[in-house]
Amino acid sequence: MARVAELAGVSLPTGQEPGVTVATFVAAWSTAVTGDARTAALHAAIAALIPLPALAREPALEAIRKAADLAPRVLRAAIAEVRKGEKDARKQRVQARPATRPGLPIVDFVENRDTVEGLFDAIIQAILPANRFFRFERDIVFVRRGYGPRLVDERVLPGLLSALVEVRFLSDRENGVAFQRFDVLPGDLARAFVHSPRVAAKLPTLTLYARTPVYDRQWNFVGRPGFHAASGIFYDGPEIRPSRSATRLLAVVQDFPWKDAVDMVNFLGALLTALTMPHWGRGHPFLAVNGNKPGVGKSTLARVLGVIAEGQEPNTVSFAANEEEFEKQLATRVEAGDRVIVIDNARTSRPIQSPVLERCITDTRLNFRRLGGNTAISRPTNDVLFVLTMNLTQMGADLRRRALPLNLLIEGDVRRHPYASDDPVGDALADRAVIVAELAGLVDAWLQQGQPVPPSPAVHSTGRKWAATMDAILRVAGFEGFLSNFAASEHAFDPDCELVCDVATAHFGDTPRTAGEWAAVLVRGVLEERLTDARGHARPVRAQATIVGQLFTAYLDGTTFPVGEARVQLRRAEPRRGHPPVYSFEPAD
């Protein structure tokens, strides 16, 4: 009965008849000797009669008035005092009522009294200490540990808020504030909350969500789980402290059949890129993992990278020559929050050319059009490592310039190649915390030496500062040669480079010739497939000259070709004004 009376907003019935209440009052009034005692008796009688129906209540109140010889206005004032006292008592009971789940803060919303902005301000103040709701560009996101950011809309907001705060709805009535219910935020208020610029302005800004410790733009190490307000980075992983050892790191990377030692150094540079990603949102290359045959470990290497960088095996997509289909696959993974996207075992009869991938590598922010609508899938910073794995990789010129080459080589039967571990991915996952700590130790050693830059640092067309910094960190740790195989790999990834190398081998030392004269020599030689049509007939003379001129022009940038023990390069000269240029292969500078 007490609970029902509280929820209904009325006094608890006394169970006494009106006549009994009047008789009790008369006895108390006649024996009272002080004014306070008479007031208490009057208020007790009024409180007992107020809950009764009017037909029973009014005659009893009139009997009390006559017995006490009170004026009507005095009785009305006493009734008002009793009602106000009950209202104040109910309000105190509601405010003292505990939440349905102890520990969660309570936000009160009194209908017909409180403003919507006041309610939103109270909710924000209650949820801010939890560091779960953030402003991410133009959207509001909720970060769930272990899962990452999730876009907040009016459909999911009530449930997400209920994990952090209890909303108590009250009603401002004539007889005081009455408790109604604990409830989630209604749909109209949820829509207003999500779309309110004022709400978004009061939430902290999220710049990066990472499952790997990172160095912020001031080179402070973010290795403690949670949100770091100074950098806007939310680190969602175990606490990591830099370590000066590199034992476990080397044990993981040395097990792969690298073509050269520099390929392993390049892979270490890729791992360091993941730890220093806040610095490279404006430029970092993608990883081109090249194998000389199937089974050399390209996909395994990509998964090891993903395990170390993200704490889980990366999702893979397939390369599609159809750009719309390929863009849809990449956009899906970007929207899911992946920071390592593997384009696994790309197969194509032609060199890979993809404007979508080229744009993803160099854009400051990733942006895709959502299929079937006018909305966009975007990420404010380009913090994704794209990985392309392929056998005997062949790529177009723009992709070659954006690649970080990682070459794997096994001579003979790949099944007989000895590996120190049967499960390198599982081993990397088990020891991930140690490996990441050792990588952070490499960066710390460089920082403690004052961030030295070598006199002739590595250079890369995608990011000069990135290349120089990675090279500097690796050199301090004793790893030399970062990106020293870039030019050789760029040529190896180029299907035309081998053709020009064959021309240089066959015609080194020949007299200079025009493009048309070279075409006449090569039409039945190295370039026969280029200079003849599908029926095997020679193309027109002018077309042949254009093909040869375009091919040679691409290698006038100082590219050298091995011819025996020497290296030669292609040169162009204009013997006389108004005459076509001539080309020749001469010893390299």
DSSP state string for 178-229: EEEEEEPPPHHHHHHHHH-HHHHHHSPBP-EEESS-EE-TT--EE-SSEEET
Domains held by the chain: number: 4
Residue 385 lies in a domain: yes
Task: Based on the fold, state whether residues 337 and 466 are members of the same structural domain.
Answer: yes
- Both 135 and 259 in one domain: the answer is no
Whether 402 and 429 map to the same domain: the answer is yes
pLDDT tens across 162-221, in order? 999 999 999 887 767 888 889 999 999 999 999 999 999 999 999 999 999 999 999 999
Please report whether residue 186 resides in a domain: yes
Give the per-residue pLDDT at 100.
Answer: 47
Question: Does 83 fall in a domain?
Answer: yes
Residue 523 belongs to some domain of the structure: yes
Where residue 95 falls among pLDDT bands split at 50, 70, 90? low
Both 442 and 541 in one domain: the answer is no
Q: Which of 349, 316, 311 is nearest to 333 (CA)?
A: 316
pLDDT in tens, 247-301: 999 999 988 999 999 999 999 999 999 999 999 977 789 999 998 888 899 999 9
What is the mean pLDDT of the segment spanning 125-153?
A: 91
Q: What is the mean pLDDT of residues 5-31?
A: 76
**Both 74 and 116 in a single domain?**
no
Is there a single domain that holds both residue 423 and residue 343? yes
Q: Is residue 62 part of a domain?
A: yes
- Which of 463, 464, 291 is CA-nearest to residue 388? 291
pLDDT of residue 102: 58
pLDDT digits (tens, 9 = 90+) for 359-418: 888 888 888 877 666 667 877 788 899 999 988 878 887 888 888 999 999 988 888 877
Question: Do 422 and 275 sit in the same domain of this protein?
Answer: yes
pLDDT at 187: 92
Position 537 pLDDT exceeds 60: yes
Residues 321 and 382 in one domain: yes
Q: Work out the pLDDT band at 93, boundaries 50, 70, 90.
A: low
Cβ proximity of 339 and 209 under 8 Å: no
157 found inside a domain: yes
Range 81-84, long-range pairs (CB < 8 A, 24+ positions): 81/43, 82/43, 82/46, 82/47, 82/50, 83/50, 83/175
**DSSP H or E stretch at residue 465:** helix 464-476
Same domain? For 257 and 142 the reply is no
Domain-embedded: residue 232: no
Please indicate, yes or no, whether residues 342 and 465 belong to a single structural domain of this protein. yes
Instruction: Average the pLDDT over 454-475 and give the result.
Output: 92
Residue 217 lies in a domain: no
Query: Is residue 353 located within the same domain as residue 268?
Result: yes
The proportion of the chain whose per-residue pLDDT surpasses 70, expressed as a percent, equals 94
Owning domain of residue 546: 494-587
- The CATH number linked to 434 is 3.40.50.300
378 and 505 fall within a common domain: no
